């Protein structure tokens, strides 16, 4: 077995492997060019006898913080140790890169993904529920709009760290499928794709859809109940204007927060009241 960075000519084989995942609903084709051309991090191929049998992505979220995602093993090779070998390769790389934390998220039903982490010293750093809201129902329009922030100050970090959304989420926020610890550098990085809106000491962390019909994403919301109401309605209307297909949020297991979103038309993604995603964390150094 060998590891090397993926190359443009691997695309067809790599996407064929991805098409065997999530009933053909996989997202690798959407992100392929971005991951291949990224300077930081590594988009790594696993080869066996010269054949591409799997791959995965190592992303630097902020200094000291690595995120693993996009692990895909060719169907006929699953369960034969390739996923664990790739994880060990990335953990070694993270140690060499002096990463303080390496994380990934796995669906609660993905036993292979969870076990390969737990068997290598990971801990479950959080459990989250995925909710989404269709954008068909009308939403009240607010008279005032929040202000978009372009700079992260220590006060913003502190307010976000202490709000229930982040506190009960063990200090993490999710931006699309990636979780990051709330800190000055990670929020600065968040601003590359996400927006932070503020009004009356409340905040809304919102990522617009990357294309029409894609989902918009809420990463956190804070403030008094009244302010959160305005911010959420504002975010829903913004996502409608931006032609999102739906709006998504990953919530910590904190009943008042789940209630708040449910009452505003957000529906659970899974069929149970159990968390959908586990956040797994390694501390390699």
Ligand X SMILES: CC(C)(COP(=O)(O)OP(=O)(O)OC[C@H]1O[C@@H](n2cnc3c(N)ncnc32)[C@H](O)[C@@H]1OP(=O)(O)O)[C@@H](O)C(=O)NCCC(=O)NCCS
Nearer to ligand X, 1 or 259 (CB): 1
Does 111 bind ligand X (CB under 6 A)? Our answer is yes
In whole angstroms, what is the distance from residue 165 CA to residue 174 CA? 11
Q: Minimum distance from CB of 198 to ligand X (Å)?
A: 33
Q: In angstroms, how far is the first alpha carbon of the chain from the final one?
A: 26
Q: Which of 11, 13, 15, 21 binds ligand X (CB under 6 A)?
A: 21
Q: Which of residues 171-190 bind ligand X (CB under 6 A)?
A: none
Q: Minimum distance from CB of 218 to ligand X (Å)?
A: 22
Q: Phi, psi at residue 97, to the nearest 5°?
A: -85, 5
Nearer to ligand X, 5 or 121 (CB): 121
Does 242 bind ligand X (CB under 6 A)? Our answer is no
- Name residue, tokens 């077995």: 1
Element at 282 (helix H, strand E) = strand 277-282
Does 72 bind ligand X (CB under 6 A)? Our answer is yes
Q: Which of 71, 166, 216, 244 binds ligand X (CB under 6 A)?
A: 71
Does 109 bind ligand X (CB under 6 A)? Our answer is no
Q: Which of 78, 127, 243, 264 binds ligand X (CB under 6 A)?
A: 78
Structure tokens at 187: 């929020």
Check the CA dihedral 80-84-86-92 and report its sign: negative
Render the burial of 264-278: b for 16+ CB within 10 Å, e for the rest: bbbebeeeeeebbbb
Q: Minimum distance from CB of 86 to ligand X (Å)?
A: 7
Q: Minimum distance from CB of 111 to ligand X (Å)?
A: 3
Q: Are strands 172-175 and 178-181 parallel, antiparallel or unpaired?
A: antiparallel
Does 79 bind ligand X (CB under 6 A)? Our answer is yes
Nearest to 26 by CA among 78, 84, 72: 72
**Which residues in this chain contact ligand X in the complex, by CB under 6 A?**
21, 71-73, 78-84, 106, 110-113, 115-116, 119
């Amino acid at each position: 077995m060998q590891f090397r960075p993926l190359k443009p000519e691997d695309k067809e084989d790599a996407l064929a492997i991805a098409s065997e995942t999530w009933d053909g609903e996989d997202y690798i084709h959407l992100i392929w060019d971005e991951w291949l051309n990224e300077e930081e991090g590594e988009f790594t191929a696993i080869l066996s006898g010269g054949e591409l049998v799997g791959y995965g992505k190592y992303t630097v979220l902020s200094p000291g913080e690595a995120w693993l995602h996009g692990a895909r093993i060719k169907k006929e090779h699953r369960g034969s140790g390739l996923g664990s070998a790739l994880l060990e390769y990335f953990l070694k790389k993270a140690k060499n890169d002096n990463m303080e934390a390496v994380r990934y998220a796995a669906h609660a039903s993905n036993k292979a993904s969870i076990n390969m982490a737990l068997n290598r010293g990971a801990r479950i750093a959080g459990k989250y529920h995925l909710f989404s809201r269709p954008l068909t129902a009308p939403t009240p329009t607010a008279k005032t709009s929040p202000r978009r922030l372009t700079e992260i100050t220590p006060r913003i970090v502190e307010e976000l760290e202490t709000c229930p959304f982040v506190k009960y989420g063990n200090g993490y926020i999710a931006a699309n499928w990636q979780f990051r610890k709330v800190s000055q550098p990670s929020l600065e990085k968040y601003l590359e794709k996400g927006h932070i809106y503020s009004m009356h000491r409340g905040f809304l962390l919102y990522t617009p859809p990357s294309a029409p019909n894609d989902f918009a994403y809420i990463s956190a919301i804070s403030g008094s109940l009244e302010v959160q109401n305005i911010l959420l309605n504002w975010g829903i209307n913004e996502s409608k204007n931006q032609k999102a297909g739906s709006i998504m949020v990953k919530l910590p297991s904190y009943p008042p927060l789940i209630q708040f979103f449910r009452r505003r038309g957000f529906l659970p993604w899974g069929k149970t009241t159990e968390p959908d995603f586990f956040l797994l964390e390694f501390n390699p150094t």
